Structure 1
Amino acid sequence: MISTVEESGDKTTKMRKRAIIKGKKKRNTSKRIAEFEPLPPNSPTTLCTGDPLRVPLAPSTDLPWPNRRPVEPEKDELDIDIRSVASLKYIPESDDDFSEILQANSPARTSISGYNSSTCTPESLLIPQIELEPSDNHTSSQENSELEDDERIAKYKTRQIKLSGVKSGRDYEQSKSLAETNWLKVFPNSNLPSTIVYYNIDDDDSVKEVAHQLSGLSEVETPLIAYRNSRINGTPTIFYAVYSRNPKKVKKWLKEEADPNSVADLKDLFDSKEDGYKPVPVKIPLLAFAILLEEPEIVRLLLTFGANPLVIPGVLRLPVIKPAIYRVSKSPEGITKEFVENVSQDDATKWCTDAVVFNRLKLATNLSIRYDLQKADTFKITARQRQLARDPRSKMDFTPLFKLHFDIIGQDLAVKKIIQELLRRKMMKTSPWPCESTRDRPTVFIFAGPKDHGQSKMVFQIAHNLGIPFFSFTESDHTLYSEPDGKNDIVERLLDEHVGSNTKPGEASEFCIFSLENVEKMSSGALDSFFTGPIKANREGFTSHDFSKTIWVVTTNILNPMITAFYEENQPLTPEKMTGKEGRALMSAMKKFVRSGTTSLSVFADYVDSIIPFFPFSENEQFALAHRALWKLRSQLLKPINLTNGYSRNLLGNIKLVTEKDYQCCRMIAKSYNPNEGAGSMKQAVADIEREMFYHFLESSEDAISEKDEKEITEYVLKVEKENDAILVQTGNVMPKEDF
C-alpha cells in the first residue's frame, strides 16, 4: 500500500491511494503540469490510425494556435483517492458537484478543486511526492484481497453470460430434428428454456404452443397469468425472453403483464464449466441482466414498462457523460470488494457486491444506456397515464407509446405533448366526452423546428411502437395533386386498404398516420384537395370514412426563427421554462403565425391540435446521438462472417467495437454538430471512423479470412489521441464466438 504525502506549512496531510505494486516499490517525485493555452473555437476534427501516409489535417494558418496542442488532463486522470467516493451517499450530477465532493473528501488534494469544468482549462496541478509506509498484517491481507479481485476481474472480463438450461443453437436444432413429433410436447420441461430463446415469435403456432407450455408452469392455466407468473427452476421466464436478445419476445412478455422488475437468483452468471473457473452467483434484477447482455433496445423496453433504473449503482450512471467511476478508477484495479460494497449499500443496489459482476456492469453501462437510465429517472410516467394506456375497452395498448422517451434523443416537450394528445384521442373513442365538435375530427400535429432534430423519427417511432400504418408525402409526390375534376381520393383509398371495410377481420388498425414533410413548399391548392377536401366531404355525408382514426403530422421549417430565438434566450431549457410563461408565449406566437394566412400552414389552422417545437440538441444530447451512431456501426460489424457463395456471403464481420472511454469518442463526433443541420451533421464523423476501421481490418492480417475467423470474435478498440484530435483503432481481445 502506498501513502501519498503533501506538505502545507508545518502540517503534513496523508492521503491513501490504492495501487497494486508488482516487484520493486516505486517513488514518484514532485511534478508540476504547466498551464495550457485554450483552443480556438473551430478546431478541426480528424481521424487516423497511426499510418504515416494518413496525416491528420493541419490547422488553419489564420488561427492563433500552436501546431501541436498539449494534452489536457481530465478529471478521471487525476488519480483521485477512490475511498473518498466509495463512501459517498450522494452521487454528483455534474462536474461542479463532483469538484465540491473532492474538495470535501480529499483535503490533501485541494489543487484538484481548482479544475474548472466549464472552461476545461486546469489550474497548475501539483502531483505530490509518494512515500512508502511499512505494511502491517492488515495491509498485507488487504493487498492479497485486491490481487484476488484483480485476477478474477481479468479472468472473467470476456466470459460469456450464460443462463442455466439453455442449449447452444446448434445443439437445440439437432435435438429438435431428432424428435419425430411436436418438440415441446415430447420434452416440455427440459427444452422449454431453449425453446423460449429460439422459437419464432412471428409464427402464430409457435407462439400459441409456448403460451400453452407456460400455462403448465403457472398456478392458473391461462396464458395471461402464464407470462406473468411462470418460472423455470425459480427463474422468471421473462429472463429467457431477454436472453433471446429479441425485443419482440420481450415486448410480448411485458404486454402480458410480466414484471419488468423481476429478480433471478442465478447460481452462475458466466460459463464456469472449464478448469480454473468458479461459479459467480448473483441475485440479479432483470434490467441489470439486459444491460450485461449489451442490449440497449431491450433496456429501453424494460424502462418503458416500469423497470426501476435505480438498481444500477449511481457511481456507474451519474453524471451521464462521464460517471463518477471514471473519475476514481482508471483501471479495474480500483474495483475491489471493499469498494463495491461501499457503493452498493442502498436496498436497490445491494445485489451488486461482487467485484467481477460490478466490473462487467461498468463496461456494459455505456453512454446510451446511462442516458436512458437518467431519462427513466427524471421523465416519469404516472400510474394514471399507464391506466389510460391499457384501457381494456380499446383493443390497442398505448403503453409502448411511452417508449418515445427513449427512442427520441431530447425533445422532452414534444414527447410529453404527443403522449397527452394521443391518450386524449383514445379516451374520446371509448368514453363520453364533452367536446362533441372534435370527436370525428382527425388528430393534427405541426412539428416545427430546424431540420433533422427528431421530427421524422418521431413519426416513425409512433407508428412502430403502436403497430399502425403510416404514409409519408413530400412536395414532389404526384399523389398530392388532384385529378382534373379537382378531387383527390388517395386518402380514401389508403383508409379503405388499412383501416376500412376492405381489411380482413383482426387486421384493421384503430389509427393511421399521414405525414406531410416540408409543408411550406406545398401549394395551398394541393393541400386543400388532399387534406381539407376529404374531411369536408365526410362532414357533409358524402363519404363514410372515419377520419377520427387518422393522425396527421405536418413538418415545417418556417417557424425556425421563433424556436431558435426562444432556445438561445432560455438556455438551459428546463421543464419549467418550456411549460411556464416563456413557453406559453412561444406557443401563442406560433399559433398566431399559423392563423395569419401568409403561408400554406393556414390550411390546417382550424384543425391543428398542437404545434410542437423541436429544439437544437444540448451537449448531453449530442453525446447520446454520437454514441447511438457508434452503436449502430457496432451492430453492423458484429454481423457473422459467412464464407458461402450465396446472397448471405459476408467477409467483414465478427468484429466487436469497444470504446475504452466512450465519452471521449463521442466528444470527438459531437464537435461536428451543426444546429442548422441537426443529427445529420455528425454522419461524416461516424463515416470517418467506419473508414478507419476498414483500413485497420485490411492491414491487421495478411491471411485470407477462413473458417477459423467464423468461430471467433475480435475486438476493435477505439482510443482517442487528444493531442492530434484523432481516433486510433487497435486490435483487442480475440474470443470464441457464442453459439447462439
Structure 2
Amino acid sequence: MSSEKPIPLEGSIGPDPGLMADVMNSCNCSHDRAIKLLHWANNDPEKAKHHHRTLAAYMSRSRTSTSQSSTSTTPRSSTDMPQQARETGVLVNARMTKGRGLTVPPPTDGQILNVPIRNGRSLHTPSTDDGSSQSSEFIKPPREKRDESSCEIPQPAGSHFETRLEGGLPTPVETLQTTPKGNIEDSSKERAPQPPRQPEVVEGAQYMQETPVEQEVFQEPEWDFVLPTIPHPLTLTPGNNFDISEIAGAMQYGAPPEMIQNYLGYYDKRTVQKEINEGVQGFPAIFFAVATNNEATIRIWVAHGGDVNSVHGASGVPLLAFAILNSETIQEDTTRTLATLLSLGAIPNCIPAAFYTPFCRDLPDDGPEEQELGDIGEVDKKWCTVSARGRLAKMANLTHRYYLERAAKTKKPSIRHRQIALRRNAEALLGIPYFLIGQTVAANILLQKLLSHILIPGKRPLVLVFAGPSGHGKTELARSLGHLLSLELEVVDCTIFSREQELFGPRAPWAEWEKGSPLNNFLARKAGERCIVFLDEFEKTSRDIHQTLLLPFDSGDYEDRRNRSKIDCSKTIWILATNALDPTIKDFCSQNHDAVFIDDDQDKMASLMKQLSKQIKQEFLRIFDSPLTGRVSSFIPFLPFSPGEQAVVVHKYILELSQKVCTSVNLSPGPNEQLLGNIKLRIRRDASVCKVIADAEYHADLGARSLITAVKGLVEDVLVERYLEVDREIKEGEKVGMLVDINSGEIVVSIVDR
C-alpha cells in the first residue's frame, strides 16, 4: 500500500508541494507539467527529472531528424498546416479509431479535415491557401461542468496513446490531446494574418513525419499497462451528477478509501451500479481502483457493483493480469491486491494456466512457450503477445502464481452461499481460503461452520479448537477472519496466566477488582456484538480457568467483574488454539503422506480430514475432560506445510524484507533516523531460491518461525553486509539495487545496477 500521507476528505489531491517545487526548479517547467512528471514517476522526484531530461533529449533529436529529412522528402510545409494544428499541437488530418490504428489521408486544398476525439467531439477546419484556418467546431473538454483550469486531459509518458522512448525511436503514432477552453480563440472573431512559422514541439506530444505516401496506415502500439492520467479534481464532493471520471482522477492522485466510500454512498444505489463499470478514457473504471493497490478501495468499489472480471476492450487485457503487471509501474508488491480480487470472484483462467501451473517453478524469461499455452481463446491471443508474456513472466512472482493456482483449484461458493453471507453482512467471509498459505482444508471447515452459525443463530456462542503445530497459521487465520469481517480480535497469551482471576480479573472485595482485566473489559465493551477471542496455547491454562469458561461457552452469559452484572457473549467467537494434539496430527500426516503432500485429490483429502477431526476430538477429551469438550462446536486441524507451501512462506518473508529496506534513508539524528534504505531488492529465479532456503531450514515443529529465522540469516544479514561493504558515505536519495539469486545451490546477495 501506498506510504503517502492520508488525504483529508475535503481538500486538494496531488503530489507533495515540496516535491513539485523541486521538479519545477530543476526542470524549469510549469505547475501542471510537474504534476504529470511526478505522477508518471510515482512521486519519485529523481525519476521525474530523469524522465524530463529523456523527453527533452528525444525532442531535440526529433527536431534534428525532421530538419535533415526535409532535404530528401517533400512534406507539407508549416504554412500548409491548419492554424489551429500549429497552435495546439493537434494533428488535424489524423483519424484514430479504437483498435484500428491511425490513418493519414493526403490533404487537398479546401478539404474539410476531421479528427474524431475520444470524447466524441470533432474538429472541423477548412484549410486556406495562406495556411490560416477557420473552425466551425473546436475541441471541447470532456466535462463542461468542470472548472476550466481542470479541463485539460494530460497523458502520462507511456500511456495508451503514447509510445515509450525505450529501445530506440518510437513508433510514429500521434498523441491526441485536448486543449483547455481558455487557450482556444473564439471562432467568431476574424483572425489577423499569421506569418509562416515552423511547427513547435509541444511537451508530451510526438509529431508524425508526414510522407507523400497515400493511405499509409500505422498500427496502434501495444498497451504498455500504464493507465492514462485523468484530470484530478480539487475536491471529491458529491453533487448533482455522478461523475465516474472524477472518482478515477481522485484515486490516481491518492484519494483515501473513506473519500471514495463517501462519494459512492451519496448517490442512489441504482445510479452507481449503472455507472460504476463505465469506461474512463477507454478503460473500465475498476482498473483505476486496482491501480491504487489498496485493498480497502477495491473492496468498496466491488461492493458498489464493480466487476472483478472486467477486460480492457482495446487490448483485451483482463483485470487480473493488469493487477500483476501494475507492480512494475508502481514499484510495489501487488500480491495482496491479487488475492483480494480472487477472493471477490475474479476467475483465474483469464490468465493462461502455463503461467502458474505448477506454481513452484521458475518461469522462462520470455514466459511459457507457445506449445505450453495450449488452446487459448481468441481474447487471450489478443493480449497475450510475445512481449506481454515476457513482462508477465517477469512480474508474476511465486506468491502470485501460488494464489492463482490455488484459486483455480478451489471450489467456488454457490449462489446461496453468497446470498446468505450478503444478508448477514459477511460476504468477505467467502474469501478466507484465498488469504492463507496452506491450510486449505482448515479454512474451508471454518467457512462452513461460520455460515451454519450465522444461518441458524442460537444462544450458544461458536467455540472452535485450532489444533496443530506452532507456526502453521492458527493465529494468522484468526486475524484474517477478524480483518475480513471487520471484527475486533482480542488475543490472549495463556502462558502468562495460572489462575482464573488473572485472566478474568479479581472479584470484589479483592484489591483493584473495579479495574477488571483486559479480557473482562473487552467482553463488556463488545456485549451483544460479534467479536473474536483467541486463547493462544490454551493447553497452558488451568482447570480453574476451564471451569470459569463453561458458563459463557454454554449459555452465552458472562459476569462483568467490575459491576457484577451479566453481559451477553452469545455472538462472541471463541478460538482455543493448542499444540497439545501435535503428535496425533503428525502421525496422521506420516500415515497419509502422499494424500496430504503430493496427491491433488480434494475429495479424498476432505474425507481424511473428517477422520482426523474425530481423532483430535478424542485426544482433546482425554486431556481436557468432557465438560469443556462437550461445549466445543468444531475441531479444526492444521497440517505441516508441503514443500511448495514452505517455499511460498519464504517468499512472503523476503517480500516483507524488500518493503522494509526500500524506505528512504534519513540522516537527520532522532527517532526517524534511517541509515539503511533506498534499496530495490529483487529475486531472480524465485522458486529455486525459496525452495533451497525452505529445504535447508524448515522444521515441522516450528513452522513459519523456522523460515523467518532462515530469511534473516541467509538473506537479510548478507544484504546488510553487502550494503556496508560499499566504500563511500551513505547519502539520502542514493538508490541501490540488490539481487537475491542462487549459485551452485547457495544463496547469494549482490549489488546490481538498478
TM-score higher than 0.5: yes
Aligned to 1:375: 406
Does the CA-based 8 Å contact 1:165-1:190 persist in structure 2?
no
Aligned partners of 1:639, 1:361: CA distance in 2, in Å?
A: 26
Aligned to 2:618: 592
Pick one of 702, 707, 723 that aligns with 1:682: 707
Q: Give the TM-score, by structure 2 length.
A: 0.62
Aligned to 1:519: 538
Aligned to 2:464: 445
By how many angstroms is 1:607 displaced?
1.4
Aligned to 1:98: none
Aligned partners of 1:360, 1:223: CA distance in 2, in Å?
A: 38
Aligned to 1:366: 397
Does the CA-based 8 Å contact 2:254-2:292 persist in structure 1?
no
Residues 558 and 654 of structure 1: CA distance in aligned 2, closer, same or farther (over 3 Å): same
Per-residue CA deviation, residues 559-603 of structure 1 (Å, 9 max, x unaligned), is 1111111111001215334332x444333232223334xx33645
- What is the 5 A alignment of 1:684-703? 684-688=709-713, 689-700=715-726, 702-703=728-729
**Are 1:631 and 2:655 counterparts?**
yes
Aligned partners of 1:378, 1:484: CA distance in 2, in Å?
A: 53
SS at match of 1:293: helix
Per-residue CA deviation, residues 32-61 of structure 1 (Å, 9 max, x unaligned), is xxxxxxxxxxxxxxxxxxxxxxxxxxxxxx
Pick one of 537, 550, 557 that aligns with 2:579: 557
Does the CA-based 8 Å contact 2:679-2:737 persist in structure 1?
yes
Aligned residue identity for 1:284: V
Aligned partners of 1:533, 1:676: CA distance in 2, in Å?
A: 33
SS at match of 1:350: helix
Aligned to 2:445: 417
Residues 234 and 537 of structure 1: CA distance in aligned 2, closer, same or farther (over 3 Å): closer
Does the CA-based 8 Å contact 2:663-2:678 persist in structure 1?
yes
Aligned residue identity for 1:194: G
**Are 1:579 and 2:606 counterparts?**
yes
**Are 1:618 and 2:642 counterparts?**
yes
SS at match of 2:738: strand
Q: Which has the larger radius of gyration?
A: 2
- What is the 5 A alignment of 1:151-230? 161-166=225-230, 176=234, 192-201=247-256, 203=258, 207-209=261-263, 222=270, 224-225=272-273, 228-230=276-278
Does the CA-based 8 Å contact 1:254-1:260 persist in structure 2?
yes
**Are 1:303 and 2:358 counterparts?**
no
Residues 700 and 571 of structure 1: CA distance in aligned 2, closer, same or farther (over 3 Å): same
- What is the 5 A alignment of 1:441-480? 441-475=460-494, 476-477=496-497, 479-480=502-503
By how many angstroms is 1:646 displaced?
6.5
By how many angstroms is 1:381 displaced?
2.1
Residues 258 and 362 of structure 1: CA distance in aligned 2, closer, same or farther (over 3 Å): same
Aligned residue identity for 2:752: G
Aligned to 2:428: 400
Per-residue CA deviation, residues 250-302 of structure 1 (Å, 9 max, x unaligned), is 11112223111011246xxxxxxxxxxxxxxx321110000112311000000
Residues 663 and 199 of structure 1: CA distance in aligned 2, closer, same or farther (over 3 Å): closer
By how many angstroms is 1:667 displaced?
1.4
**Are 1:355 and 2:386 counterparts?**
yes
Aligned to 1:273: none
By how many angstroms is 1:700 displaced?
3.9
Aligned residue identity for 2:299: K
Residues 198 and 645 of structure 1: CA distance in aligned 2, closer, same or farther (over 3 Å): farther
Relative CO higher for 1 or 2, CA cutoff 8 Å, sep ≥ 6? Answer: 1
Aligned to 2:697: 672
Aligned partners of 2:748, 2:485: CA distance in 1, in Å?
A: 41
Aligned to 1:113: none
Per-residue CA deviation, residues 525-572 of structure 1 (Å, 9 max, x unaligned), is 123224536855839999664333110000111111111111110012
When the two chains are superposed, the root-mean-square deviation of aligned CA atoms in Å is 3.7
Does the CA-based 8 Å contact 1:344-1:352 persist in structure 2?
no
Aligned residue identity for 2:592: N
Does the CA-based 8 Å contact 2:546-2:628 persist in structure 1?
no
Aligned to 1:241: 289
SS at match of 2:741: strand
Aligned to 1:384: 415
Does the CA-based 8 Å contact 1:227-1:253 persist in structure 2?
no
**Are 1:498 and 2:526 counterparts?**
yes
Aligned residue identity for 2:263: E
Aligned partners of 1:420, 1:248: CA distance in 2, in Å?
A: 25
Aligned residue identity for 2:631: Y
Residues 519 and 732 of structure 1: CA distance in aligned 2, closer, same or farther (over 3 Å): same
Aligned partners of 2:297, 2:727: CA distance in 1, in Å?
A: 39
By how many angstroms is 1:390 displaced?
3.6
SS at match of 2:463: strand
Pick one of 738, 741, 752 that aligns with 1:719: 741
Aligned partners of 2:626, 2:253: CA distance in 1, in Å?
A: 53
SS at match of 1:284: coil
By how many angstroms is 1:471 displaced?
0.7
For structure 1, the residue ranges without an aligned partner over 5 or more in a row are 1-150, 267-281, 430-438, 501-509, 735-740
Aligned partners of 1:461, 1:152: CA distance in 2, in Å?
A: 45
Aligned residue identity for 1:675: A
By how many angstroms is 1:228 displaced?
3.9
SS at match of 2:447: helix
For structure 2, the residue ranges without an aligned partner over 5 or more in a row are 1-165, 172-222, 328-333
Pick one of 318, 321, 331 that aligns with 1:285: 318
Aligned partners of 1:642, 1:237: CA distance in 2, in Å?
A: 37
By how many angstroms is 1:193 displaced?
2.7
SS at match of 2:640: coil
Residues 676 and 228 of structure 1: CA distance in aligned 2, closer, same or farther (over 3 Å): same
Aligned partners of 2:240, 2:665: CA distance in 1, in Å?
A: 35
Pick one of 534, 539, 547 that aligns with 2:569: 547
Pick one of 633, 658, 661 that aligns with 2:685: 661
Does the CA-based 8 Å contact 1:227-1:237 persist in structure 2?
no
Aligned residue identity for 1:198: Y
What percent identity do the matched residue pairs reach?
26
Residues 182 and 388 of structure 1: CA distance in aligned 2, closer, same or farther (over 3 Å): closer
Per-residue CA deviation, residues 286-338 of structure 1 (Å, 9 max, x unaligned), is 10000112311000000001111112222221211116x43xxxx44x889xx
Aligned residues: 514
By how many angstroms is 1:719 displaced?
1.6
Does the CA-based 8 Å contact 1:514-1:550 persist in structure 2?
yes
Aligned residue identity for 2:323: A
By how many angstroms is 1:239 displaced?
0.8
